[in-house]
Amino acid sequence: MKMKLMRILLLCFLSCFWFQLSFAQNATTDPSEVRALNSIFEQWDTQAVPGQWNISGEPCSGSAINGTNIYSPDINPAIVCNCFYDNNATCHITQLKVYALNKRGVFPKEFVALRYLTFLEIDRNYFTVPLPAFIGNMSALTHLSIGSNSFSGPIPKELGNLKELTYLDIGSNNFSGTLPPELGNLVKLECLYLDSCGLGGEIPSTFAKLTNMRIFWASDNLFSGKIPDFIGNWTQLTDLQFQGNSFEGPIPTSFSQLTSLITVRIGDIYNGSSSLDFIKNLKNLTDLKLRNALITGTIPSDIGEYRSLQKLYVPANISLSPNETN
């Protein structure tokens, strides 16, 4: 009986999928988005791979409407469309990927016309010059990844207008200046990658509002000042890495509240000794690394009993329990 029910459900799903796909194949892409996409790809000297989707005619075709995962390595560059607007007559481009294709150029103003874009990933290319202020008009974005390029100049404060963002990666670029306080408006952020991006100064106090954060990487920059105590309120945090900066100690005692942490990599902390007491409650740790910091105390004696530490690196003055190795 269960097998029969599962078959019926599967058939219903497939019928619904093909029904929707048939409508999608009859829909056409918003002409303003077609022009914008063609212009962007022309500036980046980029073409769709033949047989996957169409850049010269109807872009919302082939892999762009058949449910292909945007992360598929076999489709790059890639777009994904939603073709159920205007009673299934209009397609809008919702996702765009140009990943590690050695492309050069700037961030074209035509992106503003892609007003339904929720996902943009252009990592590992050679895009340059500062990010333009108009990026703040791309208000539908939930995922923005521009890491491993050559963007420079300051981060535009308008980036703080993208209040739907849950994922932001600007790491491995050549930015300068400090983090705009306006980024504290991105209260839905869950993943923020700032490593090796070139920024410095203090982490803005407005970041205290980013309580949905799960992953925060800010290593190998010029950040300074006190380690923010408010990070201890990011109780959903699982991965915290900000070694290679010039923070002042001590490590806040509020970090003991981060009981979901799996990875902690903190280093290069100056002008203040830090206690290891904050790790006593972090029973999910698998990766603990504390380098170039004045640390006092000892690793808890029961660390080997209730933690699954796979990587452990602490200063030589810290004593370890007999069951642990450095």
- Give the span between the Cα atoms of 300 and 296, in whole angstroms: 12
- What is the per-residue pLDDT for 21? 46
Domain contains 7: no
- What is the per-residue pLDDT for 1? 47
- What is the per-residue pLDDT for 284? 87
Instruction: Say which CATH number the domain at 88 has.
Output: 3.80.10.10
- Tell me the two tokens of residue 189: 């952020």
148: left (phi over 0), alpha (psi -120 to 50) or beta: left
State the total domains in the chain: 1
- Given the structure tokens 């504290």, which residue do they identify? 184
- How many other β-carbons are positioned within 10 Å of the β-carbon of residue 168? 23
- Tell me the two tokens of residue 241: 């890495």
Query: C-alpha distances in angstroms, 51 versus 73, 74, 278?
Result: 15, 12, 55
User: Among candidates 306, 303, 305, 308, which has minimal Cα distance to 318?
Assistant: 303
Per DSSP, 76 falls in state -
Domain contains 87: yes
Domain contains 75: yes
- What is the per-residue pLDDT for 314? 62
pTM value surpassing 0.75: yes
**What number of helices (H) and strands (E) belong to the chain?**
3, 19
Residues of the chain with pLDDT under 70: 1-25, 272, 293, 295-310, 312-326
- What is the per-residue pLDDT for 4? 47
* Residue at 82: amino acid letter: N
Domain contains 325: no
The per-residue DSSP string of 133-174 comes to GGGGG-TT-SEEE--SSEEEEPPPGGGGG-TT-SEEE--SSE
Domain contains 322: no
pLDDT per position as a tens digit, 122-155: 999 999 999 999 999 999 999 999 999 999 999 9
**Residue 252 belongs to domain spanning:** 29-313
Domain contains 258: yes
121: phi then psi, degrees, rounded to nearest 5:
-135, 115
- What is the per-residue pLDDT for 7? 52
For residue 267, list its beta bridge partners. Answer: 291
In this structure, are residues 127 and 105 in contact, taking their beta carbons and an 8 Å threshold? yes
Strand pairing category for 239-241 and 263-275: parallel
Q: What radius of gyration, in Å, describes the C-alpha atoms of the chain? A: 24
- What is the per-residue pLDDT for 283? 83
User: Among candidates 23, 89, 35, 87, which has minimal Cα distance to 59?
Assistant: 35
